[in-house]
């Protein structure tokens, strides 16, 4: 793990953003709990997403489907047969790796050594292997041919490559037999597909329209050592947009644009975001691109935009025997709509924002750590600090907090030197601090300290709400 990444993990724990799950028992790998500040940050992000997707589009409705679904769902979707990672074990160290990632690591190494031609050749072989009938064998052949060694032990002592299904299963009801096996959903999308007609009819939608959902998904990830980047239990925010066949590329472009803008509006710098075109299209897709963020661990996916064709609805029609067709009243045609999906990880967005916001700065010879969250996302928007604990200052500060609480999330703090209190609030990303001093009690004005510039304004306490709302509305990311 990089230094910066470790600092973010440590701050997350120290300040109550994110804890290891079941920590008192030694933790459970790749599962995490959100603490008081983390839950606020996460909630602010999911609310912004819901607002951008559901509230602002008259033709998109929300859904909250169950995690447990009829097991045939996952036969139809292809997950039972094909939702797997190609894994290979180092026999010496017993460490397990994803074969495609080992090869990607080898390609990066060749590039760093200036061997671009070799890198291009192996890259092409990787693309071919991922698309091959027997991908496991093709990946194995590359590892053998290139003599790729284990990153941890340095040995060349591999097992075969095997496909490992990522779905968690359990049994439903009192009897444990294979017929009662069900799965924890590995994506939220299928809950949307099986409810296609329910939502269309009750929402009185005509194609094109969308269904949006935020919910948990579960994957038994094998290589999961990167904090909340790759978890076994995580949350997705997905929207499936149903269009007339042939109109999917137009919708794909529209959603590509809207979704990139959403990340920029969260305060992410444009230089930290890029598009990545899939080398291998999933079995259901006719176009797929990811939005990647430059994490301290490198460029990685945050969101996928996929054109899923009519694969899912068609498959559910076949497996359930229920028609998934739509009758288009405009053209009097019947068809199974095509689907463009936007799928973003909520936890991965939390991590993106933590990484983006984290800064260490020198101020007057001292260093400060600051999380530069956009004020709409910051877990706490305003800190209220009486300069000292006497002379009517705490009383006035409490009155101000009561008023501001109606509009913002607030934190009252009267303990210790005011400079230390500012530092603590900087470290959790609070964009504004109100300080109540002697003059405030006498004249009714307070200082507003701005987190990023540390500039202070003096304004009448009665104008605070309007002033802060204006600041948030006109916010520019620094
Ligand atoms: P990856 O290649 O990183 O495994 P994926 O392509 O399998 O991701 P999708 O199935 O497209 O991911 O899921 C959509 C989004 O869900 C991803 O962009 C990511 O933000 C999030 N996501 C997927 N798997 C995980 C996970 N194990 N932990 C946290 N978030 C995840």
Q: What's the confidence (pLDDT) of residue 364?
A: 82
Q: Which CATH class is domain 84-165?
A: alpha beta
Q: Residue 470 has which token pair? A: 């204006």
Q: How far apart are the CA of 232 and the centre of ligand 1, in A?
A: 10
CA proximity to 411, closest of 66, 15, 83, 118:
15
Q: How far apart are CA 101 and CA 99, in angstroms?
A: 5
How many angstroms is it from 350 CA to the middle of ligand 1?
13
Q: And the tokens for 244?
A: 């007339």
Look at domain 380-473 and name its CATH class.
alpha beta
pLDDT of residue 1: 61
Domains 36-69+167-354 and 380-473 alike in fold: no
Q: Is 236 in the pocket of ligand 1 (CB under 6 A)?
A: yes
Residue 476 has a pLDDT of 81
Strand partners, 210: 60, 241
Question: Tell me, what's the pLDDT at 240?
Answer: 98
pLDDT at 204: 94
Say what the pLDDT of residue 478 is: 63
CA atoms within 13 A on the CB side of 101: 14
Q: How far is the CA of 239 from the centre of ligand 1 (A)?
A: 15
Q: Domain 36-69+167-354 falls in which CATH fold?
A: BirA Bifunctional Protein; domain 2 (3.30.930)
Describe the strand order of the beta sheet including 162-165 as a list of residue ranges. Answer: 96-98, 84-89, 162-165
- Residue 278: the pLDDT is 81
In the chain, domain spans: 36-69+167-354, 84-165, 380-473
| Residue 149: closest CA among 105, 86, 85, 87 | 105
Listed as ranges, residues in the chain with pLDDT below 50 are none
Does the CB atom of residue 190 touch ligand 1 within 6 A? no
For ligand 1, atom 4, which residue shows the shortest CA distance? 230
């Amino acid at each position: 793990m990089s230094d910066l990444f470790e600092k973010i993990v440590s701050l997350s724990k120290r300040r109550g953003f994110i804890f290891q799950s079941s920590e008192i028992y030694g933790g459970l790998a790749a599962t995490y709990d959100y603490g008081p500040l983390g839950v606020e940050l996460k909630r602010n992000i999911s609310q912004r997403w819901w607002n951008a997707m559901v509230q602002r589009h008259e033709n998109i409705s929300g859904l909250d489907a169950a995690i447990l679904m009829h097991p045939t769902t996952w036969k139809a979707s292809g997950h039972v047969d094909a939702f797997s990672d190609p894994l290979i074990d180092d026999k010496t160290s017993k460490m397990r790796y994803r074969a495609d990632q080992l090869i990607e690591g080898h390609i990066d190494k060749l590039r760093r050594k200036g061997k671009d031609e070799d890198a291009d050749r192996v890259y092409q072989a990787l693309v071919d292997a991922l698309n091959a009938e027997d991908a496991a064998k093709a990946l194995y052949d590359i590892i053998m041919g290139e003599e790729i060694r284990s990153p941890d032990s340095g040995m060349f002592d591999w097992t075969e490559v095997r496909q490992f299904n990522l779905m968690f299963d359990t049994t439903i009801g009192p009897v444990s037999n294979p017929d009662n096996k069900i799965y924890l959903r590995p994506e939220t999308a299928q809950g949307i597909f099986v409810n296609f007609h329910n939502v269309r009819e009750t929402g009185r939608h005509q194609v094109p329209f969308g269904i949006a959902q935020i919910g948990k998904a579960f994957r038994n990830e094998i290589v999961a050592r990167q904090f909340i980047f790759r978890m076994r239990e995580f949350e997705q925010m997905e929207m499936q947009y149903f269009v007339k066949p042939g109109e999917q590329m137009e919708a794909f472009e529209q959603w590509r644009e809207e979704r990139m803008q959403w990340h920029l509006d969260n305060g992410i710098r444009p230089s930290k975001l890029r598009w990545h075109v899939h080398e291998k299209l999933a079995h259901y897709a006719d176009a797929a691109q990811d939005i990647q963020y430059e994490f301290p661990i490198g460029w990685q996916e945050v969101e996928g935009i996929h054109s899923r064709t009519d694969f899912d609805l068609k498959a559910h029609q076949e497996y359930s025997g229920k028609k998934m067709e739509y009758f288009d009243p405009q053209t009097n045609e019947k068809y199974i709509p095509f689907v463009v999906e936007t799928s973003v990880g909520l936890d991965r967005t939390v991590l993106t924002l933590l990484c983006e916001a984290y800064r260490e700065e020198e101020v007057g010879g001292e260093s400060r750590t600051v999380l530069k969250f956009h004020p709409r996302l910051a877990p706490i928007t305003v800190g209220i600090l009486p300069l000292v604990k006497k002379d009517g200052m705490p009383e006035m500060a409490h009155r101000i907090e009561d008023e501001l609480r109606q509009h913002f999330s607030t934190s009252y703090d009267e303990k210790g030197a005011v400079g230390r209190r500012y530092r603590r609030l900087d470290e959790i990303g609070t964009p504004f601090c109100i300080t109540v001093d002697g003059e405030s009690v006498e004249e009714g004005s307070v200082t507003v300290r701005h987190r990023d510039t540390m500039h202070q304004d003096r304004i009448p306490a009665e104008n605070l709400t309007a002033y802060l709302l204006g600041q948030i509305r006109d916010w520019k990311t620094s």
